Amino acid sequence: MQAITQDILGGPEVLRLGTVARPEPRIGQVLVRVHAAGVNPADAMNRQTGIFGGQPPFVLGWDVSGVIEAVGPGVTLFAPGDEVFGLLPFPAGGGAYAEFAIAPTRSLIAKPAGLSHVQAAAMPLAGLTAWQALVETAGLAAGERVLITGASGGVGHLAVQIATARGAHVIALASGANAQFVRGLGAAEVLDHHTRDVGELSDLDVVLDVLGAEYLLKAVRALRPGGRLVSTLPQSLAAAAPAAAEKDVRINGLFVESDRLGLMALAELVNDAELKPTVAATYPLAEAGTAHATKHGPGKVVLTVA
């Protein structure tokens, strides 16, 4: 089969279209004919540093949407021909930048009929990150005030919709150019990160931060005592820990997990017209390097395969 591979770590130029052996599903696995694969910052990190995949060669990609090609022994959840989407095990899995990918059966669910494969591939990693941060970690409730940084990005634009669907008052940090887009997702307030400071806020219940650095300390100051901060950059939390402890703010760092129940919750929001991923750009599989090298906004970048 064809797949995007790399022989060395480095910039987008190391990605190349090559031929690799087509995998065969084992017990508890299915073979997916990939129609689309989402592009995430984690892919770029792995390409450059090998932080998740070790030394190359390897095939990038955790977000996948496609059709079941074959099932392993004992698999009853899916059958060939089923349309599915999901998150390959993070970080130990991967392999979505290819014509076929192996997936544990319960890392996938049926693709919502209202989403194309391209849209579905834009959702798993970013959507599960937002869901696990806001719902499962922070326990966001109706009426609470939540700040979402990077609100027009992959995680952020889905987080705004999830928080809105839960009845929260959403304050979104984004650029002025993306303010209208973010308001259209349900944000009650939009702060232009060029002209407004998170430190101006106060009495927040929850913050979902995807930016790290100085934003973490500002977020702690903006939270009420007993508030919750969830960061997608756990390695950045140490600097904010003393201030959080002093103010009685709970801080958590989150790495996304593949989760069938979370995917089903996201799919339910899609079916209820409360969640829709935005696709910023698409590229054919062979142009994965260009997809990595080009800056896009707002929403997610997706590779088209089949």
What is the model's pTM? 0.97
Rounded CA-CA distance 305/182 in Å is 29
Residues 6+ positions from 106 with CB-CB distance below 8 Å: 28, 77, 260
pLDDT tens digits, 153-177: 999 999 999 999 999 999 999 999 9
pLDDT tens digits, 41-74: 999 999 999 999 889 999 999 999 999 999 999 9
- Assign 306 a pLDDT band (cuts: 50, 70, 90): confident
- For the chain, which domains are there? 2-123+278-304 (3.90.180.10), 126-253 (3.40.50.720)
Q: Name the helix (H) or strand (E) containing 133.
A: none
**Could you tell me the CA-to-CA distances from 107 to 128, 130, 231 in Å, in that order?**
12, 17, 24
pLDDT tens digits, 202-256: 999 999 999 998 889 999 999 999 999 999 999 999 999 999 999 999 999 999 9
